[in-house]
Structure 1
Amino acid sequence: MPPESSRILFLSVSAGAGHGRAAEALRVVAEKRHGAQTRHWDVMDHVPSTFKKLYTEYYLRLVDKFPAIWAQIYRITDQTPPDATMARLRRAIERLNARSLRLAIEEFAPHAIVCTHFLPAELLQRERRRGRLATPTFVQVTDFDLHSLWVVPELDGYFAASDEVAYRMRARGLPADRVHVTGIPIMPVFSQPHLRAECAREYRLNPDLPTLLLMGGGAGVGALDEAAEKLLHIERDFQLVALAGKNAAMLDRLSQLAGRYPGKLIPQGYTNRIERLMGAADLAISKPGGLTTSECLAMGLPMIVFSPIPGQEERNCDYLLEHGAALKAVDAVALEYRVRKLLENRAALTRMRDRAKTLGKPAAAVAVMEQVVAGL
């Protein structure tokens, strides 16, 4: 089939931003590199509002307010056999809310479907078993760990973030010839060169000073402005870029704080060019989400990680620590201590950067789409 006539559907779930970002990266590559007609749907737009509220809003509230409970749920669901009563009940509830999605797929008639969340993969597996879907279907794991919910048999391909995740896929019974180590898909801009001096000039930064990129506060470190103020107590020359995103109130507090530290704290609102800020930075301070972690690794940007969500983000954190690409801060005091040490020991920071670069897979989206389109 000519590439320009192929239709490819990407399905994500808005339980956190990472699944959608991975799907969007794949969609961009499919269009620009392979000339495909594409659609990217959030599955939650095709289910009743009550189910959406349960699946997304309650999930986000749970991991934010009750992380210990989420940790237990993550562990229990990972250990629950697929044929257990609760697992079958969960899948039955999901199927009851999938009719709109099935009809939309029939209307678009894709030649391939790529899922960046396990929910649509499970739903489509059942449709295939019942003979109502013959479209080649793939699933992309978006963390450096493999939870059992991602192990959906009988699909056409499985994309893993690392060798270990692929090994775990095979150990759980997925066919070895369908498991591919690609990395986690990120936007193509992260594979392009980003000269430090040019990136720094775009944000009026001094390229000769150490630059820290603070990308979020958490329960352990505190609010973004509190974490920034803690770091600004360090008596060394550096620049701290604090990324408030779309939080206008936080940006205002950071701007007030910056008035007390002129030239040292640079508040930044939402940007769609985060790769340029990363290109100007020496160290990222962030939660270890799968996509943020992959973006930092692709840029060779070492991290200090904090407040990981129990389960998947904790495993991402472990991956970074094991490979020497990050340090972990359990609270604000640890954050200040670790930043101090790295500013005093630039050689250690350089070693972390080198290790991050070896782990990075900036062309992950390209590798995934090469596998997907191979059979079209």
Structure 2
Amino acid sequence: MVKINALSEIDVLLLTASYGGGHIHAAQELETAFATFYPKLRVETMDFMAQILGPWLDKQIQLTYISLVKYAPSIYRDFYYLTDNSSISPWWQRRINRLGFTHMGRYLRNNPPQIVVSLFSVPAGVVSELKERELHNIPLATVITDHVAHNQWVHPYTDLYLVPSPPVKEELIERGTSQDRVEVTGIPIDPAFGQQWNKRALRHKLGLKEDLFTVLVLGGAFGNWGGMRRICTRLATFPLPIQVVIITGKDFKMKEKLSPIADEACCPMYIQGFVDDMPAWMGTADILISKAGGITVSEAMASELPLLIYRPIPGQEEANVRYLVSEGAATAADDITQLIDKLEQIIRHPAKLAEMRQRAKRIAYADSAHVTAKLLYERFLT
């Protein structure tokens, strides 16, 4: 991460935030792509919310967001759609742009990059307004990390939008953005997710049964013990032959709590904590049970891995669900009974699963990080 008080020469400044993890991961993959294909460029990544607003305020905003999503999702949904309203959004956006306005302006004066790339909506608005007030004239590109063009991503002084799918491009054009300022690149992800695996060999390598239908559950995505307990308990008594891999990420307490359920399960159930080879684990699976964060669904599509989405976060994840379901690459469940029923139907109809896999392949952007870096380089850095 860049040090905000240091004077330095930067070619590309990536602005991101650690909300849900996806924005940070997208920035990391884009920085890696620049380093791989354009090693002479000086690229810096800044966590805007933590480094410009400060760690205390960043933490309070994160806690508020997490609390709303967990305990008052209907309130978060209303807030999300209210701030997307064309009559409310400008008023709200001006107030959001006050967050870090002065500090960001000072940083850009002291360390002017050749281009600013925002992978989070808040800094995109701040940098756009700074440009509107003629406090800098640096090109601004915005990487939208969900399949929706919410008003908080859309700003008049953005020079280029890099979007995850054609419907988002169409939505931006409908909102008044000129077509030449929007490019469909996909969300930057690790290109390893596009690798073609021999499933049987990969399962053997990772200690799984080679010939069982494999269900991958991203436990860390659900963020609460109760939801994961219900999922694992029902999968532990699933009526068809399967094996289940549950990845809890950095939630080590959840891993410990799930272990007794796995020990008593009627099917092989493997509980993994944090893994650094997620492309391989997705490569072992026949279906993924998860929420619908932009990065996760992009990684699944690149892996040609159909999704069974469980209780998505209101707002942006609901938009991701609508897109994936409309493209035939995913299905969604609102409760645990519906999730188990849909999983059983998918397993009993392998032709449907194969079709979902082909639909996922059709909308995948496995090389998205490289494509994004190349486009930015050719348009702004040559």
TM-score relative to the length of structure 2: 0.91
Alignment of 1:124-203 (within 5 A): 124-203=127-206
Letter in 1 for 2:46: W
Please, which of 236, 255, 267 is the counterpart of residue 259 of structure 2? Answer: 255
Deviation at 1:366, TM superposition (A): 1.5
Please, which of 346, 350, 353 is the counterpart of residue 346 of structure 1? Answer: 350
Q: Is the 8 A contact 2:16 2:118 kept in 1?
A: yes
Gaps of 5+ in 2: 1-8
For the pair 1:32 / 2:12, whether they are aligned, the reply is no
Deviation at 1:317, TM superposition (A): 0.7
Paired-residue identity, %? 30
SS of the aligned residue for 2:44 comes to: strand
Please, which of 279, 282, 285 is the counterpart of residue 281 of structure 1? Answer: 285
Q: Is the 8 A contact 2:17 2:47 kept in 1?
A: yes
Please, which of 11, 15, 18 is the counterpart of residue 15 of structure 2? Answer: 11
Runs of 4 or more consecutive aligned structure 1 residues displaced over 6 Å after TM superposition: none
State which drifts further: 200-209 or 141-150: 200-209
Report the counterpart of residue 77 of structure 1 in structure 2.
83
Deviation at 1:99, TM superposition (A): 3.0
- What's the CA shift string for 1:19-76, capped at 9, x where partnerless? 1111111111011111122111110122144532443221122112111001111111
Deviation at 1:82, TM superposition (A): 6.8
Report the counterpart of residue 27 of structure 2 in structure 1.
23
SS of the aligned residue for 2:83 comes to: helix
Letter in 2 for 1:325: A
Letter in 1 for 2:42: Q
Residue 289 to residue 298, structure 1, CA distance change in 2 (3 Å) = same
Gaps of 5+ in 1: none
Letter in 2 for 1:180: E
- What's the CA shift string for 1:204-236, capped at 9, x where partnerless? 012211100011374999432331120121222
Letter in 2 for 1:43: F
Report the counterpart of residue 319 of structure 2 in structure 1.
315
Report the counterpart of residue 230 of structure 1 in structure 2.
234
Q: Is the 8 A contact 2:282 2:300 kept in 1?
A: yes
Deviation at 1:86, TM superposition (A): 4.0
Please, which of 286, 300, 306 is the counterpart of residue 302 of structure 1? Answer: 306
For the pair 1:51 / 2:57, whether they are aligned, the reply is yes
Q: Is the 8 A contact 1:220 1:331 kept in 2?
A: no
Please, which of 302, 326, 333 is the counterpart of residue 329 of structure 1? Answer: 333
Q: Is the 8 A contact 2:129 2:157 kept in 1?
A: no
Report the counterpart of residue 291 of structure 1 in structure 2.
295
- What's the CA shift string for 1:271-312, capped at 9, x where partnerless? 111111000000000001111010000110001001111111
Residue 349 to residue 86, structure 1, CA distance change in 2 (3 Å) = closer
Q: CA RMSD in A?
A: 2.1
Distance in 2 (alpha carbons) for counterparts of 1:335 and 1:327 = 9
Residue 148 to residue 84, structure 1, CA distance change in 2 (3 Å) = closer
Deviation at 1:120, TM superposition (A): 0.9
Deviation at 1:182, TM superposition (A): 0.9
Residue 120 to residue 344, structure 1, CA distance change in 2 (3 Å) = same
Letter in 2 for 1:40: T
Q: Is the 8 A contact 1:221 1:330 kept in 2?
A: no
SS of the aligned residue for 1:259 comes to: helix
Report the counterpart of residue 115 of structure 1 in structure 2.
118
Report the counterpart of residue 6 of structure 2 in structure 1.
none
Q: How many residues align?
A: 369
Q: Is the 8 A contact 1:321 1:327 kept in 2?
A: yes
Deviation at 1:142, TM superposition (A): 0.5
Q: Is the 8 A contact 2:83 2:89 kept in 1?
A: no
For the pair 1:68 / 2:74, whether they are aligned, the reply is yes
